[in-house]
Structure formats: C-alpha cells, structure tokens
Structure 1
C-alpha cells in the first residue's frame, strides 16, 4: 500500500527534514509541523521547487502544548484531504547525570520524548480509527533497549517508553486496520547528535534517513536503523552490563 499523505512532527531539521525530503522525492504529499516556523517555510519552498507536483502543508506546533496537537493534526489533514501515515518524530536530546541538580533538563526530555509522544499517538489513533486505517510510525532510539549511565539516562528512559508503547500497539493491532512501526535509529547526523561522543558509529544524514524510510515503506514492525552496525549492536547492548554502555553514549 502506498501511503500518499504523510504527517511528520519535528520536521524542521534533522531526521524529520531528511524524511520529508526523501518522501517528497517519492511524490508524496506532506504535512509538516515543528516549533520553528521559519525553517518549515524554507523547507516547504525547497520541496515544492524540487518537486512541483506534490502538496506540502506546514503548521507551527510545540508538541508539549497538548491541546494544540489534535487541532493542528486536524487542520493539516483537512488541508491535504486526509492523512494515512503519521510519523511521531519530534524529540529532544537534553539531559544530565541523575542527581546533579539539573532536573529541568531530564524532565524536559521525558516530557517531550515520551509524554508528548503519547499525546501524538492518541491523536493519530483517533484519526486512523475514524478513517478506517493508517500507518503509525514511532521514532525511538537504539538506546531505548538499555539503561545507560551519564547524560543520556533520561533520554534512554524516554525512548524505552516510546518503544514499549509501540510494542503494545503492535500487539493490539496485529490484525489491523492500523499498522505500527517502531524505528530505533542509531547515531545519524543531525542537530541532536552533533555533540554525541559516539562519532565512530555515526552515519551521515542521507544514509540514515534512507534506511529509516526503507523500513517505513515496508511497514516493518520494529527495526534498528541502519541495520549495520546497529541491529547486531542492539543484541550486544541487551546483554552488556549497564556500566559497559558508556561507549554507546
């Protein structure tokens, strides 16, 4: 099934913008939302110039404004004449070692990556139920498979929560009509990973995004991307003692 009308949150930069470019190249219509409206407008102009046959709707959205999420999703759906795939991508990478007095950073990460994701999920499911089906994509992380020490502790916990929600939904909708995909990106070049210590495992944005889009298009249930080296590394991470996870953070 070709999902022609795709909504992406956190689409103004990084993986969100990369996925928008990749889907635009496939001729898909896009609904893009993020906090930074200037970047969204620039991206929309770029996509329409490169692919004049597609429709691109944009809207400013802070996913932590929970009341605005269903409103903005509905407005974008009206503008495109429906949405048949929603990619819950918006997220942050803030964080500090637990107990260092920087609760605000860890709290912001949990709220944006997990609580706001839940709001988007609830909204997407309501839309898809009304439409009779759809494809929900949750962007988690390979770090959701294991607790990690240091600055990524809250981030890993937030992504573990996203993965768990996705796995629950995969079981609930095993027979459809809603398809659910859980993406677990490794280190892919973006604003969020710019300060990561694990540059030796980093892939460029285009390579990482193409791997993500490939999994999304196949509507796979759950996948670490890119497959190499992350699929084997995830299996290793699951058995490593937590104190040996530092190289992955």
Structure 2
C-alpha cells in the first residue's frame, strides 16, 4: 500500500534505474527560455506535455511545432499567470483532467528583474519576490494536491546557483527568492521522505535565455539547447539536488558557500 493508504499505480514501477516512469509532464513558464527548452527535450523523449504561461500565442506555436515533429505525443496548453493563485489551482486541475494524471510538475516560471534596494525601485523587487516565491508556493501547493490524491508524482523546483549566497545589486532579491524556493522544496521533501512522492531541487548556472539575454561576457554560459538538455537529463535522475550543467557549477556552488562575499561577486 502507498503512503497515503492507496496502492501505488503499477505503471509507475517500471524503470529500476529511476524508479518511476513519468509520462505526463507539466511545465510552468513554458512559452520561452528554460521552460520552452525543456518542453522541446521532453517532446523529443516522447512525453506528453501540459504547458502553461501568460503568452498563449507562443504556447500555441510551440504546440503546433512539437506535435508536427512528435505526432505520437499529447500536448495541452493553457494560459496561466502564476501570480493569479486561484488560476494556478484551476489550470493544474484542468491539465490533470486532460491527461488523467500529472506525473511530474516543473516549477519553472520566474522573473529575473530587480534593482539595488533603497534606489526607489521597490516595485520591481516586489514583482520578482511575488513571482519567484509566492507564486512558486502556489504551484507547489497545487502540484501536491494532485500528487497526494494520486499517491505518486515528482515535484521539481527550478532554483539557481545564485541561491547559494546573498547577491549584490540587481540580483539581491532574485537570489533571496531562489534560496527561499530551495528551502521550501527541501521542507516538502522532508515531509514526504517515506512516501512515493519525490522532490528535486535544480540549481541552473548560466544558461542562455530571455531572462539573461542582455548579460555580456558572462562566465561559463551555455546555449539554451545544451543547458535544457542537461536540465532534463538531471531531472530524469530524480536527484535530491543537482547543479546544471554539472561542470563547473557543482564546484562553483560549493566554493560560493565559504568564499568571502567580495570573491563570490567575481565568480558570477
């Protein structure tokens, strides 16, 4: 019997290497950047997709493209502003109705805007905090509501290597929200340690996307396709945590934990 008093569905017990086959994947923030890139990778792997974002025109175009290249998969798209918390629950439940089950939820939607605190741009920092943490909390709540009912599922929180330490200037609020998301996901994992529900925290390094398109001369930057392929490969392992790409970010992240702050600033 499962952790919540129900038998774990047989179809989840097929792959001895990763324990679960996750066929139906829900990705938030899927209209661009890492969300779009991960959707492409999962379509290539033959997974069914539930994709949501604010920009439905881009979602519709992505759906058309991926279905043409991968006609055997099912793709559903819905408009979602993750800061509309009631809508988060409605959209997740609708996707579950579409697909029958949601096997994995990737909490990916986020913002990279921000400004040094005390410079009169509180609204930008507030929007980042609300989107990257409060809205992520809503997504985790909605996902776990489904997973508890199913007695199975995989929750993936997309954090950032910036979460390792406090960051200066425009990254201050962003880094704090990503650290908060990582702590939230770890707390969820602590509660569900003996259950069939898995929780993973991913810490991407610099992967080229719209959120960082204006950054120049950034160390260790990889292109979107390379980065998203590494993300999906890591997610498929269902780790407790993973730094992506593993080199050099696993080393850099560990160094960030103990280096003086003035040195950390030079790493990123």
- Shorter-chain TM-score range: over 0.9
Tell me how far 1:198 sits from its aligned partner.
5.5
Counterpart check, 1:218 vs 2:237: yes
Q: How is 1:62-141 mapped onto 2 (pairs within 5 angstroms)? A: 62-141=81-160
Secondary structure at the aligned position of 2:230 is classed as helix
2:29 to 3, 6, 10: 10
The structure 1 segments of at least 4 consecutive aligned residues displaced by more than 4 Å after TM superposition are none
1:23 to 18, 39, 42: 42
Secondary structure at the aligned position of 2:156 is classed as strand
Unaligned runs of 5+ residues in structure 2 are: 1-19
Secondary structure at the aligned position of 2:242 is classed as strand
Paired residues, what number? 249
Secondary structure at the aligned position of 1:201 is classed as coil
Tell me how far 1:197 sits from its aligned partner.
4.6
Q: How is 1:173-212 mapped onto 2 (pairs within 5 angstroms)? A: 173-197=192-216, 199-212=218-231
Q: How far apart, in 1, do the equivalents of 2:124 and 2:162 lie? A: 18
Secondary structure at the aligned position of 1:223 is classed as strand
Q: How is 1:130-169 mapped onto 2 (pairs within 5 angstroms)? A: 130-169=149-188
1:226-249 deviation digits (Å, cap 9, x = unpaired)? 000100000111112223332344
Q: How is 1:220-235 mapped onto 2 (pairs within 5 angstroms)? A: 220-235=239-254
Q: How far apart, in 2, do the equivalents of 1:126 and 1:198 lie? A: 43
Tell me how far 1:218 sits from its aligned partner.
0.8
Summarize the Cα distance change of 1:174–1:152 in structure 2 as closer, same or farther, 3 Å threshold: same
Query: Given that residues 149 and 243 in structure 1 are in contact (C-alpha distance below 8 angstroms), is that contact kept between their aligned partners in structure 2?
Result: no
Secondary structure at the aligned position of 1:200 is classed as coil
Which sits farther off after the overlay, 152-161 or 207-216?
207-216
Q: How far apart, in 2, do the equivalents of 1:117 and 1:140 lie? A: 10
Tell me how far 1:200 sits from its aligned partner.
2.4
| Matched residue, 2:12 | none
Secondary structure at the aligned position of 1:136 is classed as strand
Give the TM-score normalised by the residue count of structure 2.
Answer: 0.91
| Matched residue, 2:258 | 239
Tell me how far 1:41 sits from its aligned partner.
0.2
Secondary structure at the aligned position of 1:32 is classed as strand
Query: Given that residues 149 and 242 in structure 1 are in contact (C-alpha distance below 8 angstroms), is that contact kept between their aligned partners in structure 2?
Result: no
2:80 to 48, 61, 65: 61
After superposition, the CA RMSD in angstroms is 1.0
1:66-88 deviation digits (Å, cap 9, x = unpaired)? 11000011111111122110000
Give the TM-score normalised by the residue count of structure 1.
Answer: 0.98
2:70 to 51, 63, 68: 51
1:153-196 deviation digits (Å, cap 9, x = unpaired)? 00000000001011112222112221000000000010011123
Q: How far apart, in 2, do the equivalents of 1:161 and 1:200 lie? A: 25
Secondary structure at the aligned position of 2:139 is classed as helix
Which sits farther off after the overlay, 111-120 or 188-197?
188-197
